[in-house]
Amino acid sequence: MNINKLLIWSSAVLVGSFSIYSLIGHGDEVDYSSQVKPILNRSCIKCHGGVKKQGGFSVLFREDALGKTKSGKSAIIPGDPEHSEFITRLTHKDLEERMPYQAEPLSKDEIELLTKWVKQGAKWGEHWAFTAPEMPNIPNKNFFASFTDWFSPKWEKNNIDYFVADKLVKENLKHSQPADKGTLLRRVCLDLTGLPPTEQQLTDFLHDKSENAYGKAVEKLLASPQYGERWAGMWLDLARYSDTKGYERDDQRSIWKYRDYVIDAFNQNMPYNQFIKEQLAGDLLPHPTDNQLIATGFHRNSMTNDEGGTDNEEFRTAAVLDRTNTTWEVLQGTTFACIQCHSHPYDPFRHEDYYKYMAFFNNTRDEDSYGDYPHLRLFQKEDSAKVMSIKNWIQKNSSVSKANEYAKFLKTWQPTYNSLSCDEFVKSELSDTKFLGMQNGGSSRLKNVDLNGKNQMIFRYNSSKVGGTFTIHIDKIDGEILLTTKLDTTKGYQSKQVFFKSVNGIHNLYFKAINPNLKGKEDYTAYFDWFGFLSKFPAKNNPEHDLMQKEFWRLANISTDITLIMDENPQNLHRKSNVFERGNWTAKTKEVQPDIPTLFGGLPKILPKNRLGLATWIGSEQNPLTARVAVNRFWEQLFGIGLVETMEDFGTQGFTPSNPELLDYLSIKFMKEYNWQPKQLLREIVLSATYQQDSKVTPEMLETDPVNRFFARGARVRLSAEQVRDQALLVSGILSHKMHGKSVMPYQPTGIWGAPYSGISWKQSEGEDQFRRALYTYWRRSSPYPSMMTFDGTSREICLARRLRTNTPLQALTSLNDPVYVECARYFAKRMDNEKMDINGQIRKAYSLAMSKEISNDKLLILNNLYQKSLIDFKQKPNEAMKFLGYCEDNSIKPKKMPDLAAKTMVAMTILNLDEFVMKE
Amino acid sequence: MKIHQEAHKHFVEYETRRHFLKQCTTGIGMMAMGSFLESCGINNVSADALAKAQNPLSPKNPPFLGKAKSVIYIHTAGAPSQLEMFDYKPELQKMDGLPCPASFLEGKKFAFIRGVPNMLGAQAKFSQVGKSGAWLSDNLPHLQTVADEISFLKAMHTDQFNHAPAQLLMHTGSPRLGRPAMGSWVTYGLGSENQNLPGYVVLASGGRNPDAGKSAWGSGFLPSVYQGVQCRSEGDPVLYLTDPDGMSRDLRKSSIEAINKINQKQYEEFHDPETIARISQYEMAFKMQTSVPEVMDIKNEPKYIHEMYGTELGKESFANNCLLARKLVENGVRFVQLFDWGWDAHGTGEGDSVKVGVKRKCMETDQATTALLIDLKQRGLLDETLIVWGGEFGRTPMQENREGRVLAYKGRDHHTDAFTIWMAGGGIKKGYSHGETDPIGYAGISGRTSTYDLQATILHTLGFDHEKFTYPFQGRNFRLTDVQGKVINAVLG
């Protein structure tokens, strides 16, 4: 043992004795959070909480609980239980008066406890999850223990195990044996990369007899690109990532670049707090990179509504509410949605807290527009360089701010005004509630346009009618004319550039359209998408001016791939935020400023009161929830159950942690030592003895700990929908390892998509794109990929923090009959057949490829019997064998060989359906 | 052939099958639940109990005795015009073509009406029918003959005037996506009577799914096992039901037996109850492969039944779906959701005018809807099957003037303040009309019924108190009716 270790351990002893001292120091003071709050939550808060306050009495906040009730008196008088009605009513003789009302009375012990609590001053305490974690001492890891370790080999491999072992003793459980090597490798491969080991990985591992063989395997997995794909799969659920908009016609949306960002962030081991900051507020970072803009797609994954007649502001508001709820659900593990309508029924959040928080998200440019603006335009390499060169040229010949203005416009078409924000329609309207349409002589208004320093308008419109003119008046319908321009006919939507004489200030603009050629009086001369205003293109006299301006215009108009991003409103478009009465967005009351809930003491002064400030606070050590929620989620992904089982609710109604010290230990380590980097955290977990245990269950274990809350055994849980597919593809040898890019459309039966008015259709991908990992499958909200849904995927309309696992006959039908799985079985059979062995050898091989371990003789016999029976059957019906193999592309199979291959396919299919195959063991 | 002859034929078939199951131990019958596990050495009683406890769809009793055991909900997606079907308004007729009084427009928002539209009288003739004297238009000649079985809710209202949100509100209690549908709630609460069929089946006609998409039958935050299973009229009725080409039933059986035998070995080693559940799910899957196509096949129904419904074999049709709905509830399916698309009637063309479009949709559906009522009644199933019929909102008494223009055909805009829904069967009063709209049919003046009230009433007929039937999610107890809804006692039989 070296000196360092000794030092750490002796200080651990010191810390340990300190906490024992502090425990004694408090004597037998009643603890609010662990002793009183559970009783209040169970028996009182339903009628005296954040929603109902019977008799004017509520026990949610201390000030309310001690305040005057309807009777004019206080129900709780600290120090005086005899005169506190809160206590006396518990034993009242009149049943109408006795509390809890019309329910079982509290037990004698409980009444005693509450009496004592009031006597001691009715002190409030904070729920554990809302106070910062503290580094606990590591149980039983002390000098004495380390001394005995020299004599007997210890089970514990790292600190996690000391916490687990301590809990196991208290729960009267014993840890399990280590899992066998193959099973362990399969487990850790699935957990870290979402894929089972390849044949090579397995052989390497089994042959590596060094002490650190497992550790080496773990390092390789953490470094593999598949690692990022696996964890992106988890994150995309939380981000409610989807390739479509959501409502009604549920049309296409281009945001796949965000998926690439998530994959890369995990692979680069980006610190989790940086990951949060970029996703919530990448656009507000100084000089954001394209990737940081792409990251803001996180909250652009909320749904938009294209249905004709829908109110864009209603669905913009719905998206903002969704962002607020998702932020809490994903990052804070706290149910915030319920205080949209009233104060939290159980947790100390007030109604107003919700709207202050929502105010952070209420000032972005997106407005439920049909174009899903704003976008980041993804230029090809060459054009991207040209954008940079224009930016640099402007910077050199003018100013940094002008360079930024032009570069931003090229990259995002922002800031622009969506035509859907127009009003005062006369012979014009928001056609299909999407685009401003104008008739001959029609007019409309666009409010609050910033014309400071501007001399040109760029607008996007669509016209099929010859002879239209468009005029803009300033401030009044007949005010001074800003500009007049011809509305040339277009091919679909196109942009046009018009110059005008500078007019400073913020103005309301009045649009007028004239087109005497229109025959029907209700015809529209044009439809408008958006209007943008730019300052003068600089350096008129520079010889390169014309060329640069031409190049700017070309780049502004070329069609590019896009991805949805966040962009903050400029000052002139700032939206006020209000409390909604009972959650109703049309009933706006008090105006509020952005802030975090009062419980957390308000946003620290040094932080800006915007999304960036919020994101910084969320990712800081001052936030008591972020690290715990993250650690818990990673833990759950590996063990199938979190240290806090209700991952989505760390509040007082959620489950208390099964091992609070372990949760806090890992959280603090994650923040301080690991600098929020997930790979380090995952490494520590998978290297623990706890993780490496066998997953067999004894009846005793099932009795004491049916769901494995205390981790006396390894995890045995069904694979996720993504893993079920990826594993089948890998084992049968057809998985494509191609990474990144647009979503793909693997085989899907016809007639699955049936949304009305929608122009998109399922076109099966070709080549290797049919066999990509599940996370690349096109995700349509109104109609997600069927087998994903059958295996408990979510439709990603809103964020669901936890997938519940079910076990249904539809899952069996999918892995038995879905042509994707049938095809896997055929390829898997060919893979078996390629082995130069007898049938038993081939079955052995196939089983080992699938399960990473040797088959037992009895299982081998069952599969061999199935092979023999199938062979006889297919030999009698060779045509059936041919049909059965029909999907195989390759025609090289000789007819004579077919019954044999078909029988092997039966065996392969059986293996792909085994319980042990769809389970992680 | 009439109903008793049919019953006799079924009895004979039933006896034959029972004989087959008893005698042919090598047949499919051997795979009945429990028996296989027993043969594997697991104690039969406990295995059966275990499998049941593991099965989230096992039948469960409601908190109180409901009159209805199953539900057929016919959603006419697009919102049918109550003014051309149920809500007789002679005053409106008199105002036909006059500008709409300002009082009806102030502070109101419509999906497409702009400025001042004109009033539009009914584009159909009405008469009083049956003993109850219900007013029905001549668009519904068949329904006129069974009006005495029905309770009409004539003063329905909603707060969503767009299709997708309004459909979601109707089926999930929220206009936003992400909540469980009514059928999910019901199967969550009651399980299903027939484990060889999905407990919650969805059938769509009219060439499209409803605007709200699959979310209208999604399970939201309830486990996904409670989501509706859409049975299709082309291809496999349930996805992946058919064995791969070239595989015989016998081989399928052998493969499932091999899977289950190996899983059995796995169970002996790991003792994970999940493995037992998986064994029974594979058995159930095998049985579904025969039972679902059987129940979804209407070919073998007698001719008089086909004539009664007006079915069209081999096509996707509303009539076929009505007949299927009857077969499904007869076989113990808990909740059958029918969607018929195409009821929107804006008047942007002849096909969606209230004169031609509504009439056409009525012709497509009136006979089959009526047949469903009669057929359930003659089988003694109507008393325990709740039928609900209706759209997601109503239509305006004004003629639509989209984008301020006068349209070439007569149509009506979306309307939230008044529409008609009807209910019949399990637990519902016969020959009754609840609620009334004002003389021009703009809004309810008595017996106003919200979508939540309707949901509360549906749950009541099944034996649930809608306020107590909850599921904890995101820190609160969610319920279908959110924080609203009152049971409409007047329509309970």
ipTM score of complex:
0.86
User: Cβ contacts (< 8 Å) between A816 and chain B: which residues?
Assistant: 240, 243, 252, 255-256, 285
Q: Do A810 and B111 touch (CB under 8 A)?
A: no
Give pLDDT tens digits for A367-409.
999 999 999 999 999 999 999 999 999 999 999 999 999 999 9
Shortest distance, CA B241 to any CA of chain A (angstroms): 6
Phi, psi of B128 (to 5 degrees): -90, 140
Look at residue A14 in the predicted model and tell me its pLDDT: 39
Phi, psi of A71 (to 5 degrees): -70, -10
Q: Do B475 and A311 touch (CB under 8 A)?
A: no
The 3-state secondary structure of B305-353, one letter per residue: HHHHHCCCCCCCCHHHHHHHHHHHHHCCCCEEEEEEECCCCCCCCHHHC
Report how far residue A483's alpha carbon sits from residue B185's, in angstroms, rounded to the nearest whole number: 59
Mean pLDDT of chain A: 90
Q: B162: closest CA among B113, B112, B114, B111?
A: B111
The string of DSSP codes covering A791-827 is TT----SS--S-PPP---HHHHHHHHH-HHHHHHHHH
Report how far residue A131's alpha carbon sits from residue A127's, in angstroms, rounded to the nearest whole number: 7
State whether residue A470 is helix, strand or coil: strand
Shortest distance, CA A553 to any CA of chain B (angstroms): 35
Report how far residue A291's alpha carbon sits from residue A285's, in angstroms, rounded to the nearest whole number: 12
Yes or no: say if B431 and B150 are a contact pair by the CB < 8 Å rule.
yes
Quick check: A307 contacting B, CB < 8 Å? Answer: yes
Yes or no: say if A408 and A376 are a contact pair by the CB < 8 Å rule.
no
Read off the pLDDT of each residue in A271-283 and give the average, rounded to a whole number.
Answer: 98
Instruction: Give me the torsion for CA of B57, B63, B67, B68, rounded to 10°.
Output: -30
Estimate the crossing angle of helix A545-557 against helix A400-412, to 10 degrees.
30
In degrees, rounded to 5, the angle at the alpha carbon of residue B255 between the alpha carbons of residues B253 and B261 is 100
Q: Do A881 and B223 touch (CB under 8 A)?
A: no
Yes or no: say if A78 and A118 are a contact pair by the CB < 8 Å rule.
yes
Tokens representing A621?
A: 């050590």
State whether residue B74 is helix, strand or coil: strand
Q: Do B164 and A648 touch (CB under 8 A)?
A: no
Sign (positive or negative) of CA dihedral A479, A483, A486, A488: negative
Tokens representing A664?
A: 């806090």
Question: Token pair 């008739």 is at which residue?
Answer: A439
- Of chain A, the percentage scoring pLDDT greater than 70 comes to 94
Look at residue B198 in the predicted model and tell me its pLDDT: 87
Strands B70-77 and B335-341: parallel
Question: Token pair 């078909």 is at which residue?
Answer: A902
Report how far residue A826's alpha carbon sits from residue A824's, in angstroms, rounded to the nearest whole number: 5
Q: Report the residue from A247, A696, A913 with minimal CB separation from B270.
A: A696
Yes or no: say if A839 and A864 are a contact pair by the CB < 8 Å rule.
yes
Could you tell me the end-to-end alpha-carbon distance of chain A, in angstroms, rounded to an integer? 36
Estimate the crossing angle of helix A721-731 against helix A819-833, to 10 degrees.
30
A432-453 in b/e form (b: 16+ CB < 10 A) is: bbbbbbbbbbbbbbbeebbbee
Give pLDDT tens digits for A506-530.
999 999 999 999 987 678 999 999 9
Report how far residue B407's alpha carbon sits from residue B402's, in angstroms, rounded to the nearest whole number: 7
Quick check: A807 contacting B, CB < 8 Å? Answer: yes
Yes or no: say if B141 and B366 are a contact pair by the CB < 8 Å rule.
yes
Read off the pLDDT of each residue in A147-153 and give the average, rounded to a whole number.
Answer: 63
Q: How far is CA A213 from the centre of its chain?
A: 34
User: Hey, which bits of A654-783 come out as E strands?
Assistant: 717-718
Q: What type of residue is B264?
A: Q
Q: Do B266 and A811 touch (CB under 8 A)?
A: no
Is the pLDDT confidence value at A232 over 60? Answer: yes
Instruction: Give me the torsion for CA of A16, A22, A25, A30, rounded to 10°.
Output: -120
Yes or no: say if A465 and A523 are a contact pair by the CB < 8 Å rule.
yes
Sign (positive or negative) of CA dihedral A353, A355, A357, A359: negative
Identify from A703, A810, A860 which residue to disrupt to test chain B contact, counting B C-beta atoms within 10 A and taking the largest count.
A810
Report how far residue A319's alpha carbon sits from residue B276's, in angstroms, rounded to the nearest whole number: 43
Residues 6+ apart with CB under 8 A from A409: A458, A532, A534, A556
Read off the pLDDT of each residue in A78-107 and give the average, rounded to a whole number.
Answer: 87
Cβ count near A26 (within 10 Å): 9
A332-352 in b/e form (b: 16+ CB < 10 A) is: bbbbbbbbbbbbbbbbbbbbb
Integer-rounded Cα radius of gyration of chain B: 24
Report how far residue B52's alpha carbon sits from residue A818's, in angstroms, rounded to the nearest whole number: 27
Tokens representing A36?
A: 């009183």
Report how far residue B57's alpha carbon sits from residue B196's, in angstroms, rounded to the nearest whole number: 11
Quick check: A335 contacting B, CB < 8 Å? Answer: yes
Report how far residue B369's alpha carbon sits from residue B375's, in angstroms, rounded to the nearest whole number: 10
Estimate the crossing angle of helix A678-686 against helix A660-668, to 10 degrees.
140
Helix extents (H) in A158-224: 159-170, 181-193, 199-207, 213-223
Q: Do A817 and B240 touch (CB under 8 A)?
A: yes
Read off the pLDDT of each residue in A92-117 and give the average, rounded to a whole number.
Answer: 87
Report how far residue A513's alpha carbon sits from residue A810's, in angstroms, rounded to the nearest whole number: 58
Identify from A248, A813, A868 which residue to disrupt to test chain B contact, counting B C-beta atoms within 10 A and taking the largest count.
A813
Report how far residue B344's alpha carbon sits from residue B323's, in angstroms, rounded to the nearest whole number: 24
Q: Do B224 and A909 touch (CB under 8 A)?
A: no
Look at residue A150 in the predicted model and tell me its pLDDT: 60
Look at residue A551 in the predicted model and tell me its pLDDT: 96
Look at residue B126 in the predicted model and tell me its pLDDT: 97
Strands B476-479 and B470-473: antiparallel
Tokens representing B92?
A: 């409106």
Question: Token pair 């245990």 is at which residue?
Answer: A693
Question: Token pair 């969607």 is at which residue?
Answer: B339
Look at residue A152 in the predicted model and tell me its pLDDT: 66
Quick check: A293 contacting B, CB < 8 Å? Answer: no
Residues of chain B predicted below pLDDT 70: 1-54, 403, 474-476
Give the nearest chain A residue to B477 (CA atoms).
Answer: A338
The string of DSSP codes covering A488-556 is ---SSSEEEEEE-----SEEEEEEEEE-TT-SSTT--SEEEEEEEEEEPPS-TTSTTHHHHHHHHHHHH
State whether residue B332 is helix, strand or coil: coil
* Band (A412; pLDDT cuts 50, 70, 90): very high
Give pLDDT tens digits for A856-890.
999 999 999 999 999 999 999 999 999 999 855 56
Quick check: A584 contacting B, CB < 8 Å? Answer: no
Phi, psi of A556 (to 5 degrees): -65, -25
Higher pLDDT, A400 or A796: A400
Sign (positive or negative) of CA dihedral A700, A706, A708, A709: negative
Read off the pLDDT of each residue in A67-83 and give the average, rounded to a whole number.
Answer: 87
Look at residue B4 in the predicted model and tell me its pLDDT: 62
The 3-state secondary structure of B351-375, one letter per residue: HHCCCHHHHHHHHHHHHHHHHHHHH
Higher pLDDT, A319 or A247: A319
Question: Token pair 């000391």 is at which residue?
Answer: A162
User: Cβ contacts (< 8 Å) between B252 and chain A: which residues?
Assistant: 816
Q: Do A246 and B177 touch (CB under 8 A)?
A: yes
Is the pLDDT confidence value at A757 over 80? Answer: no
Report how far residue A874's alpha carbon sits from residue B429's, in angstroms, rounded to the nearest whole number: 60
Tokens representing A128?
A: 């554990």
Tokens representing A205?
A: 């591992």
Yes or no: say if B136 and B129 are a contact pair by the CB < 8 Å rule.
yes
Q: Do B262 and A859 touch (CB under 8 A)?
A: yes
Look at residue B8 in the predicted model and tell me its pLDDT: 57
Quick check: A795 contacting B, CB < 8 Å? Answer: yes
Question: Token pair 């129940």 is at which residue?
Answer: B295
Tokens representing B148?
A: 């005495």
Q: Report the residue from B178, B251, B277 with minimal CB separation from A906.
A: B251
* Band (A147; pLDDT cuts 50, 70, 90): low
Is the pLDDT confidence value at A338 over 80? Answer: no
A608 preceded by cis ω (within 30°)? Answer: no
Q: Do A307 and B218 touch (CB under 8 A)?
A: no
Look at residue B45 in the predicted model and tell me its pLDDT: 39
Look at residue B18 in the predicted model and tell me its pLDDT: 42
> Is residue A801 classed exposed, middle or buried when 0-12, 13-18 and 19+ CB atoms within 10 A define those classes?
buried
Look at residue A6 in the predicted model and tell me its pLDDT: 40
In degrees, rounded to 5, the angle at the alpha carbon of residue A148 between the alpha carbons of residues A143 and A151 is 145
Look at residue B421 in the predicted model and tell me its pLDDT: 98
Give pLDDT tens digits for A840-853.
999 999 999 999 99
